Amino acid sequence: MNWHQICDIELLLPEYGVPALIGEHPVAVFRTHDDELYAIGNVDPFCGAGVMSRGIVGDRGGEPTVASPMLKQVFSLRTGECLDDPGARLPVFPVRRRETVVEVALP
């Protein structure tokens, strides 16, 4: 695993996402209310724009989710799967917290 430092945890508010660039890969990193961290691809598969980190975080039936800010499809933060259109999915990246630093790995 090749871990990349993203930012200080202070910058990542609960229920919020930030965009990061790992090599050439735009990644969206989220922190939920229970302090879990998630990282998924930042590029919305429906429009090709790098906007997923700007979506609203929440849950659907308990599953942690983010809604695309563009056309509002909802994705699982755990699996990257689109819950509104099971054909589409976002890549998921390993993410961890080291001290106060958030790190993401490219698999």
Q: Based on CB atoms, which residue is closest to another protein, 1 or 90?
A: 90
Burial 4-19 (b: 16+ CB within 10 A, else e): bebeebeebeeeebbe
Contact 59, 69 (CB under 8 A): no
Among 1, 35, 87, 99, binds another protein (CB under 8 A): 87
**What separation in angstroms does the CA of 1 have from each of 8, 86, 107?**
20, 29, 6
Q: Which pair of structure tokens corresponds to residue 38?
A: 């998630």
107 binds another protein (CB under 8 A): no
Q: Based on CB atoms, which residue is closest to another protein, 1 or 34?
A: 34
Question: Total binding residues for another protein by CB under 8 A?
Answer: 50
106 binds another protein (CB under 8 A): no
Subset of residues 5 to 64 that bind another protein, contact rule: CB under 8 A = 5-7, 11, 13-16, 18-22, 24, 26, 29, 32-33, 41, 43, 45, 47-51, 54-62, 64
Q: Would you state the torsion angle of the CA atoms of residues 45, 51, 57, 62, taken in this order, to the nearest 10 degrees? A: 10
CA atoms within 13 A on the CB side of 31: 17
Q: Which residues bind another protein (CB under 8 A)?
A: 4-7, 11, 13-16, 18-22, 24, 26, 29, 32-33, 41, 43, 45, 47-51, 54-62, 64-65, 67, 69-70, 72, 74, 85-91
